[in-house]
């Protein structure tokens, strides 16, 4: 087993790269499922990257039923986290208004309302005047109608991250800040490529599974594994560069997962028994 360096564990079953809302959510849910040997590594402080300047909007209606169900679950989680961890998330159901300026767009909103009803979401088509009653700053002279979703809300991303992190710590996860991951260690034994851990500026850490949840900040660290992790969301203040496609001839090694910025979904990760 690798010797620990500077207080960092030498081994963990799961290493998570990135201490934003996605990384801490992964740690929270893994520990909730009984995976207590979890180490989260953050190069700065929790929520100091993409998360800190996110708007925190929580819109429940998504393009797919699975995405909608995921956000519905998330709103329930955000409401109960304070009682569980003692830290507020800033979540409040303030409702959301989607407007239509043309009849074609209004037709689309009618379809959206039908989808919301099928998903069990409270939803109402409203007139421009009714929309302005819910949002007085709204200019309605050029509107054909609007869609009102009273269950939509907002959360404070930094507070939510802190609450998720505390919940993960309460169940045994270790969270190390100011530790930069510099690479992924890979074994080519047994005729395949498999992740065996990470290298950091505080020493190496062995792991069965590595999850990259650090947006573009973790790109350089994990590219030696032959994968492109989560790229910057469109809300980022810095410009997006074309990351290209998966390099030819380099299939992702087993034991590596990476996150997608859209709706907090995870790709290439299947949770088994603890």
Instruction: Concatenate the DSSP letters of all residues of 99-116 into one string.
Output: EESSHHHHHHHHHHHHHH
Helix (H) and strand (E) counts for the chain? Answer: 6, 13
Lowest mean pLDDT among 85-94, 163-172, 177-186, 238-247: 238-247
Nearest to 90 by CA among 67, 47, 58, 68: 58
Q: How far apart are CA 170 and CA 224, in angstroms?
A: 33
Residue in the structure block whose two tokens are 């990259």: 212
C-alpha closest to that of 38 among 264, 271, 223, 248: 271
β-bridge pairing 57-58 and 124-126: unpaired
State percent of the chain over pLDDT 70. Answer: 77
Q: Which two tokens stand for residue 111?
A: 């379809």
Confidence of residue 235 (pLDDT cuts 50, 70, 90): very low
Minimum mean pLDDT among 186-200, 214-228, 259-273: which range?
259-273
Residue 214, phi then psi, degrees to nearest 5:
-105, 20
Mean pLDDT (the chain) is 81
Q: Averaged over 200-213, what is the pLDDT?
A: 93
Q: What is the mean pLDDT of residues 45-71?
A: 87
Residue 70 has pLDDT above 60, yes or no: yes
Higher pLDDT, 159 or 262: 159
Contact 143/131 with Cβ under 8 angstroms? Answer: yes
pLDDT band at 123 (very low <50, low <70, confident <90, very high): very high
Torsion-angle region of 90 (φ positive above 0: left; ψ -120 to 50: alpha; else: beta): left
With a cut of 80, say whether residue 154 has pLDDT above it: yes
- pLDDT reading at 257 higher than 70: no
- The pLDDT, as a whole number, for residue 274 is 43
Domains and CATH numbers, the chain: 11-56+161-267 (3.50.50.60), 58-155 (3.30.9.10)
Percentage of the chain beyond pLDDT 90 is 58
What average pLDDT does the segment 125-150 reach? 94
Q: Quick one: average pLDDT of 16-40?
A: 96
HSE at residue 232, side-chain half, CA atoms within 13 A, is: 15
In this prediction, residues 2-19 reach a mean pLDDT of 79
CA proximity to 52, closest of 158, 154, 156: 158
CB neighbour burial string for 31-63, b if at least 16 within 10 angstroms, e if fewer: beeebebbbbbbbeebbbbbbeebebebebbbe
**pLDDT at residue 48 is higher than 80:** yes
Stretch 133-144: mean pLDDT: 93
Whole-model pTM: value is 0.79
């Amino acid at each position: 087993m690798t010797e620990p360096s500077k207080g960092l564990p030498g081994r963990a079953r799961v290493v998570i790269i990135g201490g934003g809302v996605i990384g801490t959510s992964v740690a929270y849910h893994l520990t909730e499922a009984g995976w207590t040997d979890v180490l989260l590594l953050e190069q700065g402080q929790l929520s100091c990257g993409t998360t800190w300047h996110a708007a925190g909007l929580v819109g429940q209606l998504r393009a797919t039923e699975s995405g909608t169900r995921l956000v519905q679950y998330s709103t329930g989680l955000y409401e109960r986290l304070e009682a569980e961890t003692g830290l507020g998330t800033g979540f409040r159901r303030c409702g959301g208004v989607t407007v239509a300026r043309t009849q074609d767009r209004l037709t689309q909103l009618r379809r959206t309302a039908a989808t919301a009803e099928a998903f069990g979401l409270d939803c109402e088509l409203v007139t421009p005047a009714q929309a302005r009653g819910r949002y007085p700053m709204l200019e309605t002279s050029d509107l054909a109608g609007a869609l009102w979703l009273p269950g939509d809300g907002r959360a404070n991303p930094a507070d939510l991250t802190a609450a998720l992190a505390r919940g993960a710590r309460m169940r045994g996860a270790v969270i190390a800040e100011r530790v930069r991951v510099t690479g992924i260690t890979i074994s080519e034994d047994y005729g395949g490529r498999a992740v065996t851990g990470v290298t950091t500026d505080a020493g190496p850490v062995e792991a069965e599974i590595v999850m990259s949840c650090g947006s573009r900040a973790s790109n350089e660290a994990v590219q030696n594994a032959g994968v492109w992790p989560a790229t910057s969301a469109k809300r980022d203040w810095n410009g997006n560069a074309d990351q290209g496609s998966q390099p030819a001839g380099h299939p992702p090694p087993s034991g590596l997962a990476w996150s997608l910025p859209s709706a907090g979904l995870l790709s290439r990760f299947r949770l088994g028994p603890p």
